[in-house]
């Protein structure tokens, strides 16, 4: 009898709102992809007939699609960014589901409120186009679709600031190490590096950009020394410490006496090494905050497109030597 009464009430609400029973059920069950207009219409109809629905509470969740889990390690860029995302999501009452890019179809089988991309290549990002129409936020990537949001650090300024810091210390032969050579972020870093070198006088050193995806850390270290570089901008997210090991333990060099380095900041490690590393710090906490806010606001306000670029910070420590 109770179920029959409830079914009859749902029919009355549907008739009053002029919508289907399915739409009423989705609103009453707090379905995540119901438009604001539909939700308002159904609830107004319920108030009109004097019915107070008992909502079924479902956990709100964010799918974090992660690239290259095979090289994911404790303390690297993606791990630290994901930790910030989990903290921010929890503060907003959202669960986080982790999905590897090669199992991205799993996101279509869950009622997630949005998707945050972490560490995908441009080829892998294409797979996001087949997901349900929920807010999608790319982190440190340029969006392929106008409906997607993005939040990035200023990769051009990362390359520029690191190279300029070394140039101001008197270095002219500066190498740049990147994870790979193709992709929006690495190309922006390379552009910042090249622009600083081009402005140097005398300009007698050709840019030396070395990819960590095709060269071993020891091969990179040897190439840096072969070109008589006195400094290295080490902006690799995945192979940074391996390169430092090859320079010091592999080739027996001393930092900064033999080679000056500027690396990407790892707040748990960089300041505790000997010497303490001069670094470029991305605002990971703020990147995570904005990415999650895009999902929260998109879910509440049907707002799906937002783009923000954040500045990096150069942290000067002890790994850069001042040349005469």
Per-residue pLDDT of 18-45, as tens digits, reads 998 888 888 877 676 778 888 888 888 8
From residue 77, alpha-carbon distances to 258, 266, 287 in Å are 27, 8, 12
Flag residues of the chain having pLDDT under 70: 1-8, 30, 32, 53-58, 68-74, 105-111, 132, 299-305
Q: For residue 70, what pLDDT is reported?
A: 59
> What is the Cα–Cα distance from 215 to 122, expressed in whole angstroms?
21
Q: For residue 4, what pLDDT is reported?
A: 43
Per-residue pLDDT of 250-288, as tens digits, reads 999 999 999 999 999 999 899 999 999 999 999 999 999
> What is the Cα–Cα distance from 60 to 66, expressed in whole angstroms?
19
> What is the Cα–Cα distance from 163 to 195, expressed in whole angstroms?
9
Whether a cis peptide bond, with omega within 30° of 0, leads into 202 is yes
Q: For residue 3, what pLDDT is reported?
A: 41
What's the whole-model pTM score? 0.78
Q: For residue 196, what pLDDT is reported?
A: 97
Q: For residue 32, what pLDDT is reported?
A: 63
Q: For residue 171, what pLDDT is reported?
A: 97
């Amino acid at each position: 009898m109770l179920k029959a009464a409830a079914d009859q009430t749902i029919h009355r609400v549907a008739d009053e709102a002029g919508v289907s029973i399915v739409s009423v059920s989705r609103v009453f069950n707090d379905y995540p992809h119901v438009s604001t207009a539909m939700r308002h219409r159904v609830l107004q109809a319920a108030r009109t007939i004097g019915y107070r629905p008992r909502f079924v509470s479902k956990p709100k969740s964010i799918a974090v699609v992660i690239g290259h889990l095979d090289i994911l390690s404790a303390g690297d860029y993606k791990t630290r960014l994901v930790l910030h995302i989990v903290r921010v999501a929890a503060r907003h009452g959202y669960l986080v589901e982790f999905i590897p890019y090669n199992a991205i179809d799993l996101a279509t089988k869950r009622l997630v409120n949005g998707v945050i991309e972490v560490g995908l290549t441009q080829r892998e990002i294409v797979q996001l186009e087949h997901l349900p129409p929920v807010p999608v936020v790319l982190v440190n990537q340029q969006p392929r679709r106008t409906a997607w949001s993005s939040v990035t650090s200023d990769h051009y300024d990362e390359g520029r600031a690191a190279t300029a810091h070394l140039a101001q210390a008197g270095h002219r032969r500066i190498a740049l190490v990147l994870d790979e050579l193709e992709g929006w972020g690495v190309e922006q870093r390379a552009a910042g590096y090249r622009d600083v070198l081009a402005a140097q006088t005398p300009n007698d050193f050709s840019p030396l950009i070395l990819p960590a995806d095709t060269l071993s850390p020891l091969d990179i270290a040897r190439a840096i020394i072969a070109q008589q570089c006195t400094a290295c901008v080490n902006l690799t997210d995945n192979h940074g410490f391996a390169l430092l090991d090859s320079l010091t333990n592999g080739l027996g060099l001393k930092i900064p006496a033999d080679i000056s380095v500027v690396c990407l900041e790892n707040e748990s490690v960089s300041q505790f090494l000997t010497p303490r590393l001069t670094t470029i710090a991305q605002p990971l906490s703020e990147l995570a905050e904005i990415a999650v806010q895009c999902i929260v606001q998109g879910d509440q306000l049907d707002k799906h497109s937002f783009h923000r670029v954040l500045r990096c910070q150069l942290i000067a420590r002890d790994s850069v030597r001042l040349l005469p």
